[in-house]
Structure 1
Amino acid sequence: MTADRIRVWLGVALLGLIMLGSFWVYEVMRRQVDDDANNRKDRSEPDYYVEQFNFVRLSQSKQTNYRVTGDRLIHFPQEDEFEIVQPRIVGIDQEKTPMTIRADRAIVKQKIQEKPESKAEDQIHLRGNVQVERSNSKLGSHLTMSTKALTLFPDTERMRTAEAVTLTTPRANLNAIGMEADNSSQKIRLLSKVQISIAPPGASK
């Protein structure tokens, strides 16, 4: 074999190696993209859903019965979270006083530990047109509340929001930014920019 033919074959072999290397790089990149796409798919696609569901549970203190209903319950396996479309939550305490909560959607996160010293508990993150209504009872008068977002802690019967809230009672309107409430102790804490309008006794609202 002459030197010229050797150079030609070496050139062909080198070109073949470059093509194989390029093909290998392409395959590795394609597989990486496919793997990333599959991972994103696993995170974004639910594994099951339930239409028109009805779920009943007790609070951790066993003093309040919660019934949760909605148009659709969707489970996302990657995060192990539930999304509820048009949720409606009704809580009945020992005094038989119902509290109804509605929203456009809700995300249910299970056993979240907010602080190292705190106990893990479920959270329900309500979003969009959140409406809360508590009936009149010997513990307090009729109360309604509206806000954009609200986080519920059903195990400890608490709720909170950092958004603007409006609370209405038979004799008062309250507006504030941020709220924390404890249903078991019937206490509400307004965090900032509180405005109160109180009707005089005997005045109609």
Structure 2
Amino acid sequence: MSWRGWLTLVLLLAAGLTGWSVWRGRDVQQTSAQTGGRADYLLEDFELIALDEQGRESFTVRAPRLTRDPAAKTLDIATPVFVIPPGPNARTGAWEVRSHRGWVSADGNELRLRGEVRARSDDADGRPVLMATEQLNVFPDSKRANSAVPVTVTQPGLILNGQSLQAQLDTKRVHLTDVKARYERTAR
């Protein structure tokens, strides 16, 4: 085969690969348009302070990446760190909640945290209160949280394991179902 034959073969192969690539990219664009499309904005390495209807801080979030769905007006956040301040009459500290993924409703009244969720705060005596689960829904304006999956709550000297959780964040009151408790001695 002459050099012209080889050149023709290479050009045909390149044209075929280019056509296949364009065709495949078109399918990806159609799929993303059907599932909500592109984000209307993107934030990287940011800190956002959300305010409630009275202008008080509802929550603060820091994360490496945030995208906003223009149709639903919701936020998707990668590895967020949420800080939920205590209520106006609370004597306890703010909650710091970390997870792999976060979602914020359009009105900012609901936070859905998924994947290795860890929440930490201090009680009225300054002792740490820790919660660990895979899913946690937080309602920052009413200072509530709930989870329908197994949860572990840890305080100095006490470990509670439950199948679901209802929590009042400002008073640190936690209601667990199907509870198993383990008491540990603390150093004096």
User: Shift of residue 77 of structure 1?
Assistant: 1.0
How far apart, CA to CA, are the structure 1 residues paired with 2:116 and 2:171? 26
Q: List runs of 5+ in structure 1 lacking aligned partners.
A: 1-33, 112-120
How far apart, CA to CA, are the structure 2 residues paired with 1:78 and 1:66? 23
How far apart, CA to CA, are the structure 2 residues paired with 1:196 and 1:46? 45
> 2:104 matched to which residue of 1?
108
Give yes or no for the alignment of 1:76 onto 2:72: no
How far apart, CA to CA, are the structure 2 residues paired with 1:108 and 1:71? 15
How far apart, CA to CA, are the structure 1 residues paired with 2:54 and 2:134? 28
Cα deviations by residue, 1:37-75 (Å, 9 ceiling, x for unpaired): 488347132121011111123456777653211111100
Equivalent AA in structure 2 for residue 79 of structure 1: A
Cα deviations by residue, 1:74-126 (Å, 9 ceiling, x for unpaired): 00112221101110011332546132100001011124xxxxxxxxx711110
Q: 2:84 aligns with which of 85, 91, 95?
A: 91
Equivalent position SS for 2:179? strand
Equivalent position SS for 2:36? helix
* Cα separation, partners in 2 of 1:57 and 1:77, compared to 1, 3 Å: closer
Give yes or no for the alignment of 1:67 onto 2:63: no
User: Which of 1 and 2 has greater Rg?
Assistant: 1
> TM (normalized to structure 1)?
0.67
Which deviates more, 172-181 or 44-53?
44-53
Q: List runs of 5+ in structure 2 lacking aligned partners.
A: 1-26
> 2:23 matched to which residue of 1?
none
Percent identity, aligned pairs only, is: 24
* Cα separation, partners in 2 of 1:178 and 1:65, compared to 1, 3 Å: same
> 2:112 matched to which residue of 1?
125
Equivalent position SS for 1:122? coil
> 2:18 matched to which residue of 1?
none
Cα deviations by residue, 1:10-45 (Å, 9 ceiling, x for unpaired): xxxxxxxxxxxxxxxxxxxxxxxx9xx488347132
> 1:154 matched to which residue of 2?
140
How far apart, CA to CA, are the structure 2 residues paired with 1:65 and 1:155? 6
> 2:44 matched to which residue of 1?
51
Cα deviations by residue, 1:132-165 (Å, 9 ceiling, x for unpaired): 0112434x63111110010010111110000110
1:52–1:70 CA contact under 8 A, matched in 2:
yes
> TM (normalized to structure 2)?
0.73
How far apart, CA to CA, are the structure 2 residues paired with 1:73 and 1:198? 40
Equivalent AA in structure 1 for residue 48 of structure 2: F
2:138–2:146 CA contact under 8 A, matched in 1:
yes
Equivalent AA in structure 1 for residue 80 of structure 2: P
Q: When the two structures are aligned, how many residues end up with a matched partner?
A: 158
1:42–1:78 CA contact under 8 A, matched in 2:
no
